[in-house]
Amino acid sequence: MSSGRTVLSNNVAKDRIVSKFQQAYHADATPYQKMNFHPKVKAASSENRTGTVGLKISKAVIVGDVSVGKTCFVNRFCHDLFDRDYKATIGVDFEVEKFSILSTNFTLQIWDTAGQERFKCIAASYYRGANVVIVAFDLSDEESLNNVEKWMVDASENANDPVKFLVGNKRDLLSEAAYEDIESRAVEKANKLGAEFWAVSAKNGLNVREFFFRAVCLTYDSLLLNELESTKTVSSKQIGSNLISIQKENTDLYEAKNKQKSKCCS
């Protein structure tokens, strides 16, 4: 979380409070047609019956070709920063963002993976269990759009029934006409992949906050709905043991990240 932000008593920054359901970027380019939180999700949130959803850490992974702007996109959202110099991501990096959705705390871990082929072995081990898969491409580079299928297939393989997005970055580089041209092809791809399309700019911040709010709204809604429908009564004992395994898994991930970096990047 960037410094200088107003942080509330629940440890969530003021600009991470989600009280309205964020709409899709383009109504014709999404498989997610819901326009609001499910009534059961709203009721459970207001009555504080959110089970393990508010306690767990959800996971998002961002993948895509080299230099499409994955790191800049994450940094724009998490730190409100933009770096014009390219620094390749080595393996993976991650950020943790805390939200308050309908007054429930919700934590998203954002795994920013390397696009370079030589780091693929490291990056791929972080796709497991992802709740959100973000395939990024560069709107000004057609080739990066041609490669999105393989990224989506790889990243979704071991994910956890993820919410899928196709994000075109560097919108600031395109004229309106050039954008419209690539947009129609991107929308076609997104529909084929069963993903929701967004056009953003990490450089000027266009649609970046809206995108992440959309991602957490869809994820929170579907995770809580699943939980409400599958475990009508979750005992506090179960919640306790789930939490221990989640915390352990998290610790393992941190350790694995360091181990794998030293193994694969030599």
Ligand X SMILES: Nc1nc2c(ncn2[C@@H]2O[C@H](COP(=O)(O)OP(=O)(O)OP(=O)(O)O)[C@@H](O)[C@H]2O)c(=O)[nH]1
Q: Which residues bind ligand X (CB under 6 A)?
A: 66-72, 83-89, 114-116, 169-170, 172-173, 201-203
Place of tokens 């994910």: 159
Question: Of 13-21, 89-97, 222-230, 256-264, which segment contacts Mg ion by CB under 5 A?
Answer: 89-97
What minimum distance in Å lies between the beta carbon of 197 and ligand X? 16
Q: Which residue number, 87 or 237, has a Cβ lying nearer to ligand X?
A: 87
Work out the number of other CB atoms within 10 angstroms of the CB of residue 12. 22
Phi and psi torsions of 59, nearest 5°: -125, 130
What minimum distance in Å lies between the beta carbon of 92 and ligand X? 10
- Residue 9 tokens read as 């008593």
131 lines the binding site for Mg ion (CB under 5 A): no
89 lines the binding site for Mg ion (CB under 5 A): yes
SS3 185: helix
Q: Which residue number, 71 or 201, has a Cβ lying nearer to Mg ion?
A: 71
Distance (Å, rounded) from C-alpha 142 to C-alpha 152? 17
Residues in a beta bridge with 19: none
Q: Which residue number, 37 or 111, has a Cβ lying nearer to Mg ion?
A: 111
Q: Which residue number, 115 or 162, has a Cβ lying nearer to ligand X?
A: 115
Q: Which residue number, 53 or 61, has a Cβ lying nearer to ligand X?
A: 61
- Residue 92 tokens read as 């993976």
The edge-to-edge listing of strands for the beta sheet with 196-199 is: 17-18, 92-101, 104-113, 57-64, 132-138, 163-169, 196-199
Place of tokens 């110099």: 85
Going by their DSSP bridges, the two strands 163-169 and 92-101 should be labelled as: unpaired
Question: Of 5-13, 64-72, 125-133, 145-153, which segment contacts Mg ion by CB under 5 A?
Answer: 64-72
Distance of CA 149 to the CA centre of its chain: 18
What minimum distance in Å lies between the beta carbon of 138 and Mg ion? 12
- List 45, 58, 71, 156, residue binding Mg ion (CB under 5 A): 71
Which of ligand X, Mg ion, none does residue 116 bind (CB under 5 to 8 Å by kind)? ligand X
In the complex, the residues that contact Mg ion under the rule CB under 5 A are 70-71, 89
